[in-house]
Structure 1
Amino acid sequence: MATSVTSLPADEATTAPPQPQAPSRLRRSAPMLTFLGRRLLSSAIVLLGATFIVYMLLAYALDPLEDLYASSAPNKEQLIEARIRDLNLDTPPAVRWVLWLGGVARCGIGQCDLGNSWVTNENVIDMLGTAIPSTVQLIAASTFLAIGLGIVVGIASALRQYTGFDYTVTFMSFVLYSLPSFWVAVLLKLWGAIGFNDFLRDPTLSTPAVVGLAVLGGLIWQALVAGDIRRRLSVFGIATLATGAAIWGMSATGWLLDPNLTIVGVLVLGVASAYAVTALTAGLRNKRALYAALTTVAVGVALYYPLQWPFAVASAWLIIGLAAAAVASGMLIGWLFGGPDRGVSMRTSAITAVLVGAFIYIDRVMDVWKLYSNSSRIAGRPIATIGSQTPGLAGNDYWVTTLDTFTHLVLPTIALILISFASYTRYSRASLLEVMNQDYIRTARAKGLPERVVTVRHAFRNALIPLATVVPLDIAALFGGAIITERIFAWSGMGTLFLTSLGARDADPVMGYFLVVGTMLVLANIVVDFIYAALDPRIRVNA
């Protein structure tokens, strides 16, 4: 059987069919850039309209001449005319808003002009430059701790659904969420500061108190570990004995008067952290990750004494540099252990390195506790109730200053955590319960995957999607300050700036406050979209 072949012209025969070209990086990023531009433009328009509304409300609600109208000064009329001229009150509010907006627009060329306070004659930019760092210092720690603790406890509650632990967490969440913030702050000042400072005069506990705290610790640990009745009783017994021994030792040795971790404490806490981090990130069956984490602990403990030399001349930048070096060292150790998945070992080792470095740092701060507490300005009452620092504290030692900042932060931070923690716990619990009932979770279990892998790798990421709406907005609200908490603890932040300016009928600082908070919230809404796209592969950010 003959086969016929049809020949092609030379130019067609040698020409390959066109191949589809992969889209260039510029072409792939064009939709995202278009989306980002549209969101920024729409957000700018929203912010512009919001500033106009707020400016008009302040112009008609606040009367800077109110104090002069009630004045009995003989030159009352001249004073009124002078203030009208200085504040440009004879100009329509809409025109004044345009003039104020012109000063804001000059921020684009580095010449911001948000006006001046007519009460203190201080530039609004300088007022914000003082208030914003103070507010971020106060609220940043509480916000991130509340987010972390809320998610962890909420997930643990969801995994222990309908148990005693779940009911307890649910009850405490509703109680904390219902408490007024001013009441919580006052109770903390009464018990957390005054009561604890009185206790430090003779920090010893009676035998019934030690037993009661030990039993409470055992109940908490057995609820966290869960399992059958035999396992619960074993955990309860071990935890009760360990807690009781630790509390008795602290009481008998007066540890609270001169606390420290020492190298032994760093070693014990480091090993415990290595096992815990490995169990969560890689699983204890991953021996390479576990050995990398334990090696990181060994390196950190070996550097305990050598680090005391740079700590003698410590500064904020030195601590940041050492933290970066700890992360890099942990990743290097994880990489050297290798294995089929070096990324897991590197991540586990890096997290462990950060924790070990934190323990060493905390131990160094503890070393100055006795010196700080016995100073003339502190007089044995280290937990502060007002302000952000102790006035007239002698010396500028980095560690004393750090400890002083911590003692002033501890009460307002706890007050803010207790309130925010409740909402994050409820969000994360409800979200994880919904995810755990999805078909792909049942499929993962049917394939025989360990429960840790199902929870951490499959369920946890999708459970974070609803929180992606709340968390960025809460972080943006950091710059708005905690008005009630700042007022009770006499903290000079953004909340205090807002209240003081509003009470003094000072519009420009109030507008500066609103501009900062509004801008951060608008940007947070844009960030939410990108977080959605990162967490959920079904969502694409495009035009």
Structure 2
Amino acid sequence: MLRFILRRLGVSAFILVLGSVFLFFITVFSGDPLEDLRESRDRTAPQQMEARIRNMNLEEPWYVRYWMWAVGVAKCVTLNCDLGVDSTGRDIQSALTSAASSTLRLVTLATVLAIIIGISMGILAAIRQYSGFDYAVTFASFLFFSLPVFWVAVLLKEYGAIRFNDWIADPGISLTATIIIGLLFGVTLASLLGGDLRRKLITGAASAVFAIGAMLYFDSVGWWRQPALGLGLIILIAVGAAVVLTYLTVGRTNPKILYAALTTIAVGVVGFFVFQSWIKEPTYPLLLLMLAIGVAVAIVSGWLWGGWDKGIAIWVSIGTAVAFAGATALDQLLRNWGPFLERKPRPISTIGSGAPNFEGPFWTGVWDWGVQLILPTVVLTVISLAAYSRYTRASMLETIRQDYVRTARSKGLSERVVITKHALRNALIPITTIVAFDFAGLIGGAVVTESVFGWSGMGAMFESGLDRVDPGPVMAFYLVTGTAAVLMNMIADIAYAFLDPRIRT
């Protein structure tokens, strides 16, 4: 495996070099970098022209300029990169650091959401083939895949930002809208859970009544501007995660797995009161420390309760601890939604990745950082969601028809074990290829999204470099996206070996 990885790294490096030469060449000869100054009547135009020639090394042939750039990139091996300056004299490396952090946080979140939601929808659609849920997922997938990115972005700016900001100033949901939303929730949940007609009617009716009642309650207490979960809902979320994880791993065969998770929740409740001051006014190191403590407690709990399934008990307890920590963080975020609205009455901006000169406590700062991610993240997630759901559905349908799956069923294994331990692992092998290409592709696709939402990320850097016929920013964009493509493909190769041990040979 090591020889294979080293060989792939060598081939990938060679391809990156060839691609960089080609991109540098076409960028340099795509126009005249001095055209705007040649037509300018500004008295300082000659001085500006000399400065630009000096910054871009225009007196040198293109291959010499490429070599100078390559030598600067080679210094990255010693963590001393030198990417030069752009046409305006600004250091490209510092601009790249800022742009890459902005784009990567956007693309990473969108990729994770698309993977989780898309694969889950694909699995459920395959299990319930030709059901109403399957048809709905298929229709939504083709719809999302066909929508132009810029059009979706403009719609989200209108309804997700402008109209939402108007609504949140005096929030309220009419009775008609409440009933419609509740019925849609009931139909969706009934279709998702499946069963015969009687079970679907009962599930749908109960879910619709619950949703309608919850929205009426939220409306009456002004929850939309002063929301919170409370310790009760935090515990309920953690218990739900414990039950789901236990069912997916061992079902009802070993209740000690559930006891380990419940013990983790009990210790988490104690920690909720012990670390209350840290929770209300944290820092990122404190959050990581509390999460590490929760994981350590989960490992001890799983080890003590696990019996012959210690490994599974530990992982289920860790998942439960993460769910408890996530629900606790969500509760604090919701509690600080009101203070955030006081500082920023129109919370979601249509331009930019954050409010300039925003000041506030930790959680309100997280709101300012996070709400600007919502709209562009939704756009990029929708782009990838269709591909993940369709490929996962097709892969699952092909896998569950294999002989070894029929053999597993004939041995009397439960459908949960057949799907999670036999079919899903093999169905995920082709999906890893999509993940590898999609991550690098999303960085390139973010150019349009960032342009619509006014993000100062990799897309803006790439676009400005092309407009000014400046290869420096363009090559910085290529350096990040090319490296991301190589690394993601390498991770995909390693994931192949994990999912199918036969690949290791």
TM-score for both structures, normalised by structure 1: 0.89
Distance 1:80 1:357 in 2: 57
Q: Which residue of 1 aligns with 2:356?
A: 391
What 5-or-longer segments of structure 2 have no aligned partner? none
Q: Does 1:201 align with 2:165?
A: no
Question: Deviation of residue 537 (structure 1)?
Answer: 2.1
- CA deviations 1:22-67 (Å, max 9, x no partner) are xxxxxxxxxx333222222222111111111111111111321111
Q: Which residue of 1 aligns with 2:501?
A: 537
Q: Which residue of 1 aligns with 2:154?
A: 186
Q: 1:115/1:190 Cα in 2 relative to 1: closer, same or farther (>3 Å)?
A: same
| Counterpart among 52, 56, 66 of residue 87 in structure 1 | 56
| Counterpart among 472, 489, 503 of residue 467 in structure 2 | 503
SS at 1:385 equivalent: coil
TM alignment of 1:195-274, pairs within 5 A = 195-274=163-242
Distance 1:383 1:96 in 2: 43
Q: 1:458/1:264 Cα in 2 relative to 1: closer, same or farther (>3 Å)?
A: same
SS at 2:181 equivalent: helix
Question: Deviation of residue 77 (structure 1)?
Answer: 6.5
Q: 1:67/1:241 Cα in 2 relative to 1: closer, same or farther (>3 Å)?
A: same
TM alignment of 1:62-81, pairs within 5 A = 62-72=31-41, 80=49
- CA deviations 1:474-523 (Å, max 9, x no partner) are 23446557111111111111111111222122211111111221122123
TM alignment of 1:350-499, pairs within 5 A = 350-375=318-343, 378-379=344-345, 381-395=346-360, 397-477=361-441, 480=444, 482-499=446-463
> Is this contact kept in 2: 1:184–1:415, CA < 8 A?
yes
> Is this contact kept in 2: 1:480–1:513, CA < 8 A?
no
Question: Deviation of residue 328 (structure 1)?
Answer: 2.0
Q: Does 1:517 align with 2:481?
A: yes
Say how many residue pairs are matched: 505
Q: Does 1:49 align with 2:18?
A: yes
Q: Which deviates more, 474-483 or 64-73?
A: 474-483
- CA deviations 1:245-269 (Å, max 9, x no partner) are 1111111111111000011111222
Distance 2:121 2:12 in 1: 35
Distance 2:252 2:367 in 1: 37
Distance 1:272 1:34 in 2: 44
Distance 1:388 1:70 in 2: 35
Percent of counterpart pairs with the same letter? 43
Q: 1:288/1:122 Cα in 2 relative to 1: closer, same or farther (>3 Å)?
A: same
| Counterpart among 278, 284, 301 of residue 333 in structure 1 | 301
Question: Deviation of residue 107 (structure 1)?
Answer: 2.0
Distance 1:76 1:408 in 2: 39
| Counterpart among 278, 282, 286 of residue 314 in structure 1 | 282
- CA deviations 1:229-256 (Å, max 9, x no partner) are 2211221122122111111111111111
Distance 2:239 2:195 in 1: 24
The letter for the 2-side match of 1:113 is D
Distance 1:70 1:272 in 2: 67
The letter for the 2-side match of 1:494 is M
Q: 1:356/1:491 Cα in 2 relative to 1: closer, same or farther (>3 Å)?
A: same
Distance 1:73 1:193 in 2: 41
Distance 2:457 2:384 in 1: 19
The letter for the 2-side match of 1:405 is W
Distance 1:345 1:128 in 2: 44
Question: Deviation of residue 111 (structure 1)?
Answer: 2.6
| Counterpart among 115, 126, 144 of residue 94 in structure 2 | 126
Question: Deviation of residue 151 (structure 1)?
Answer: 0.4
Q: Which residue of 2 aligns with 1:27?
A: none
SS at 1:100 equivalent: helix
Q: 1:237/1:86 Cα in 2 relative to 1: closer, same or farther (>3 Å)?
A: closer
Q: Counting helix residues as a fraction of each chain, which structure ranks higher?
A: 2
The letter for the 1-side match of 2:264 is T
- CA deviations 1:302-352 (Å, max 9, x no partner) are 332323211244111111121222222212211111222111111111101
Q: Which deviates more, 438-447 or 421-430?
A: 421-430
Q: Which residue of 2 aligns with 1:34?
A: 3
Distance 1:285 1:440 in 2: 23
- CA deviations 1:117-136 (Å, max 9, x no partner) are 122x1111111111111112
- CA deviations 1:161-218 (Å, max 9, x no partner) are 0011100110011001111111111111111122222222332222222221111111
| Counterpart among 158, 161, 166 of residue 126 in structure 2 | 158
Question: Deviation of residue 470 (structure 1)?
Answer: 1.2
Question: Deviation of residue 374 (structure 1)?
Answer: 1.6
Q: Which residue of 2 aligns with 1:16?
A: none
Question: Deviation of residue 451 (structure 1)?
Answer: 0.2
TM-score for both structures, normalised by structure 2: 0.95
Q: Does 1:139 align with 2:104?
A: no
Distance 1:412 1:73 in 2: 39
SS at 2:272 equivalent: coil
> Is this contact kept in 1: 2:56–2:85, CA < 8 A?
no
> Is this contact kept in 2: 1:315–1:398, CA < 8 A?
yes
The letter for the 2-side match of 1:151 is I
Q: Which deviates more, 309-318 or 46-55?
A: 309-318
Distance 1:76 1:368 in 2: 52
Distance 2:315 2:179 in 1: 40
> Is this contact kept in 2: 1:481–1:494, CA < 8 A?
no
Q: 1:81/1:199 Cα in 2 relative to 1: closer, same or farther (>3 Å)?
A: closer
What 5-or-longer segments of structure 1 have no aligned partner? 1-31
Q: 1:329/1:475 Cα in 2 relative to 1: closer, same or farther (>3 Å)?
A: farther
Distance 1:140 1:74 in 2: 47
Question: Deviation of residue 75 (structure 1)?
Answer: 7.7
Question: Deviation of residue 80 (structure 1)?
Answer: 4.9
Please provide the CA RMSD for this pair. 1.9
